[in-house]
Amino acid sequence: MPTVEVADLKDGDFLLDVREDDEWQAGHAAGALHIPISEFVARYGEFTQAAPQDARVHVICRSGGRSAQVAMYLAQQGVDAVNVDGGMQVWAAEGRPVVDAKGGPGFVL
């Protein structure tokens, strides 16, 4: 499964967060699309409407396990998808902004 480092992500890269609702509400990357892994297949149409047609999809979770599963599923569907190595834990550790559900400062559960 192809992976990318958090440090390699640029502003404007498409980010898909597959963590559960409580994790998302506590803290996430601003601008990410949120579809929990537990609902992903049922909400696949929502993903296809939001995802860029010609750009890579960066899939993120807390540490990289769940996002690897979704990235593999997307790759099987023909989507250019990669797993974000280390997930939101590395995102926050590298000082990337984390916001809560209300747009204020967040934290990674």
- Active-site residue, selected from the candidate residues 6, 60, 61, 84: 61
Residues 6+ apart with CB under 8 A from 57: 14, 16, 51, 71, 74, 79, 80, 81, 82
Exposed, middle or buried by CB within 10 Å (0-12, 13-18, 19+), for 77?
exposed
Does the active-site annotation cover 86? no
Active site residues: 61
